Structure 1
Amino acid sequence: MTSLGGAEMVDWNLAVATATRLVRPGPEVSRDEAREVVAELRRHAKSSEAHVRSFTRMGTEDIHDTPVLVVDRAGWVRANVAGFRAVLKPLLEKMKDRRGSGPGGAVLGAVGGKVTGVELGMLLSFLASRVLGQYETFAPATRELPAAGNGGGRLLLVAPNIVHVERELDVDPHDFRLWVCLHEETHRTQFSSVPWLRDHLEGEIQSFLGETEVDPMTVLERVREAAQSLAGGRTDGAEDDDGGRTFVELVQTPAQREILARLTAVMSLLEGHADYVMDGVGPDVVPSVTEIREKFKERRQRGASRLDQALRKLLGLDAKLRQYRDGERFVRAVVEEVGMDGFNRVWTSPNTLPTKAEIAKPADWVARVHRKAD
């Protein structure tokens, strides 16, 4: 793949080809069963809209122009590559300009693009068999993958993964499919009902990427300092304040760490809210919700194997599981304190979003947003 001025920094076509070649095959289903699963997921996605609106008191019937796409694992890969390509474009152009100014920059760009394409494809092949559903916030429309107007998103339901998990857990498949749709529909409601949320997230992400170092010597120096910190190599006697940080976090700039803390808080809120909603709606519309929740929670905590657990930790998926838990605890505590309408003040503006510290201490958010306003 080439673009004006030289080779792309990531060979996106190669990433798709690598991922679709390596991804595990889905569960065995007949053609009729596959059609039935797709049709039922579409029905559940539609019925979830009213359930989520009623429970959350967010949105109206005419706000949704976001398409719901039931995809296979290869379709999920293609959608996410398109999203990555859109979000990372400013950073990759910055890196391309820096590399192109040096000797052999075009050749290095071509080789590097192939390598990065293969690496991204391997990552996506691992994730493609694990994601049940996803609200794609930054989703450019393509011929195969439509998206909402004005840069809106799309809702993906990965049918083979949903079938695989419902069989693995041995739960009622119809209840499980609706339960998954309730979670993903909550995300769609969050973004369609809060007009500023998408732009706010995009701004934070671009600020984070804008702080990325592209000078190799600077990056190497930060890696060296991080390695010394992890190895206890400090000699100044200062107290180590890096406890609990991953290696990736240690090599970030201070500005990136601040941005990441804000992003972590927002993602914890969004994921925790979705978990809270699907469990809150569940008893009324999903008869076996208690069984599903218990088995699914156990599956999240258990992991599949040592290799799977190692990969989850490396990719930060363990942190995502903490976001579900911490965010759901925050939402539950706030709703118990000030009710659903009081919780919904969180969507007023970026200033009313919880900080990372407030996610851990919901009473602090209530004091800041409610008592100050009152």
Structure 2
Amino acid sequence: MSDVPFGFGVPDRDPERRDQSGSGPGNDPFGFGALFGGAGGGTPDELLAKMPLFAELQKLMTWSGGPVNWDLARQGAISSLAAGSQPSSDAERAAVADALRLADLWLDQVTELPSGVDRPLAWSRVEWVEQTLPAWSTLIDPLAERVVGAMTSALPAEAAAMAGPLAGIMGRMGGLMFGAQVGQALGRLSGEVLTSGEIGIPLAPAGAGVLLPQNVAEFAAGLDRPADEVRLFLALREAASQRLFVHVPWLRQQLHDAVHAYARGIHVDREAIERGINEAMGSMGGIDPTNPEGIQALLGSGLLEPEETPEQQAALRRLETLLALVEGWVDSVVAAAAGDRLPGHGALAETMRRRRASGGPAEQTFATLVGLELRPRRLRDAATVWGAMAQQHGNAERDRLWSHPDLLPTSDDLDEPLDFVARQGADDELRSLTADDAQEPGTQKPDTDGRDSGD
């Protein structure tokens, strides 16, 4: 699992841990340590050569675009990849396009949802960062805004009055902090993701089917399968994901709504904080706002950590269920499409399951974003639902469940997936009987649920 939070962690200020961890690119992506006299600062001429960074810092400090400084996030992510991102070649772009076209042909035979890919793309890691920033902004900004608002509202009146004149500067500093940490996280993810839909929420523009050839090649190098087979398997997954999100228009919004519902519940107990501060002041002989060690002790005490509410827990259950249903459907239709055509499908599918279980990009994203630990059992149960639906009722009935969010299995349904599938059979029989009765002249349509069945 990733240890890089999406802007919601406090930097490690322990000097011993800092000394042990060093000051590599991940800790100092822009070289500020060297610029301000740290190790390796260089000669005066070398320092003067870095002076444009002051102008860049001034630009970052005037950011007013929201709770996360996305300019800094972009720069930080790309800076960490400066020597590690390779542009896609013409041959790689052609191979990706061929794989996605073949994948769509195979998927046409196993799902009622039509193709969702109108342009195949082969992105480098840098392109992944730049092209997915709008999607990340939509997902992360509400969370960051609520975190800042919750912490500010929880300050005691005296502290709030002291912070008032500095509110603008504090907001910009918060944007810098969030931007730096989000950038670091995106830089790391860009070296791991294989497709644009791997985290469960599509990050590419609608209609774009995306593979990252550099990451795919590194992923394939550790497997005992031909590279073109691995590419086709991933193209099947990407094309399946695009079909779902393009032709189920409410799905993307439902996933975002679940994340934002969690964000709306972020708050801290001000009374508990005030009691804790009073106790801390009594035991510490008061807290001097000019004493950084005293303030850090307060911040590290846990008093300012938001409490998770029942509403947030419900939002997390909805999010986990939706992500499991998306992933399970993709697993199911890819298995049906690959069939005997792709000899290594079983081994590759097992590799993806292990990748998720050990903390792949999707698991990293939601663990750091909202603290959601995706449970492998949810994914297996969702795949069981989709597989059994296709086997017992056909592909059309399986895909019909995506026509409205109320038709999808709930978290409770996933506890007994085969019971859910069996109930769909009973509902099909009831609909058939209702239709037969309606066709008989002089018969009254039964009202099975208190509504006009002809609606």
TM value normalised by structure 1 = 0.73
Q: Quick check: 1:7–1:110 contact (8 Å CA) kept in 2?
A: no
Matching residue within 68, 79, 85 for 1:10: 68
Q: Quick check: 1:134–1:157 contact (8 Å CA) kept in 2?
A: yes
Q: Quick check: 1:2–1:8 contact (8 Å CA) kept in 2?
A: no
Asked whether 1:68 is paired with 2:130, we answer: no
Cα distance in 2 between the residues matched to 1:194 and 1:89: 24
Paired letter, 1:330: V
Matching residue within 337, 345, 348 for 1:281: 337
Paired letter, 1:358: D
Cα distance in 2 between the residues matched to 1:313 and 1:91: 12
How far off is 1:182 after superposition?
0.4
Number of the residue aligned with 1:241: none
Cα distance in 2 between the residues matched to 1:369 and 1:317: 30
Number of the residue aligned with 2:309: 253
Q: Which moved more, 1:10-19 or 1:292-301?
A: 292-301
- Taking the TM superposition and a 5 Å limit, the aligned residue runs for 1:86-165 are 86-92=138-144, 103=164, 104-135=166-197, 147-148=205-206, 154-165=208-219
Would the alpha carbon gap of residues 369 and 182 (structure 1) be closer, same or farther in structure 2, given more than 3 Å must change?
Answer: same
Number of the residue aligned with 2:321: 265
Q: Quick check: 1:72–1:160 contact (8 Å CA) kept in 2?
A: yes
Secondary structure of 2:196's match?
A: strand
Q: Residue deviations 1:151-190, cap 9 Å, x none?
A: xx64331221101011111311111101001011111111
Number of the residue aligned with 2:78: 20
Q: Structure 1: any 5+ residue segments left out of the alignment?
A: 140-144, 222-249
Cα distance in 1 between the residues matched to 2:271 and 2:334: 45
Asked whether 1:217 is paired with 2:275, we answer: no
Secondary structure of 1:156's match?
A: strand
Would the alpha carbon gap of residues 51 and 317 (structure 1) be closer, same or farther in structure 2, given more than 3 Å must change?
Answer: farther
How far off is 1:91 after superposition?
5.0
Number of the residue aligned with 2:237: 183
Number of the residue aligned with 2:418: 363
Q: Structure 2: any 5+ residue segments left out of the alignment?
A: 1-58, 154-159, 275-305, 431-455
Asked whether 1:85 is paired with 2:137, we answer: yes
Q: Residue deviations 1:187-235, cap 9 Å, x none?
A: 111122223323333433333333332x5738969xxxxxxxxxxxxxx
Cα distance in 2 between the residues matched to 1:218 and 1:192: 47
Paired letter, 1:165: F
Cα distance in 2 between the residues matched to 1:291 and 1:94: 43
How far off is 1:350 after superposition?
0.9
How far off is 1:36 after superposition?
1.8
How far off is 1:321 after superposition?
5.0
Paired letter, 2:411: K
Paired letter, 1:347: W
Cα distance in 2 between the residues matched to 1:301 and 1:289: 18
Would the alpha carbon gap of residues 337 and 362 (structure 1) be closer, same or farther in structure 2, given more than 3 Å must change?
Answer: farther
Matching residue within 11, 34, 44 for 2:99: 44
Cα distance in 2 between the residues matched to 1:14 and 1:188: 30
Would the alpha carbon gap of residues 66 and 96 (structure 1) be closer, same or farther in structure 2, given more than 3 Å must change?
Answer: farther
Secondary structure of 2:110's match?
A: helix
TM value normalised by structure 2 = 0.61
Percent sequence identity over aligned pairs:
24
Q: Residue deviations 1:98-119, cap 9 Å, x none?
A: 7599612111111111111111
Would the alpha carbon gap of residues 166 and 261 (structure 1) be closer, same or farther in structure 2, given more than 3 Å must change?
Answer: same
Larger radius of gyration: 2
Secondary structure of 2:409's match?
A: coil
Q: Residue deviations 1:329-355, cap 9 Å, x none?
A: 332233333332332232121111111
Matching residue within 374, 385, 390 for 1:335: 390
Q: Quick check: 1:87–1:138 contact (8 Å CA) kept in 2?
A: no
Secondary structure of 1:8's match?
A: coil
Cα distance in 2 between the residues matched to 1:125 and 1:320: 25
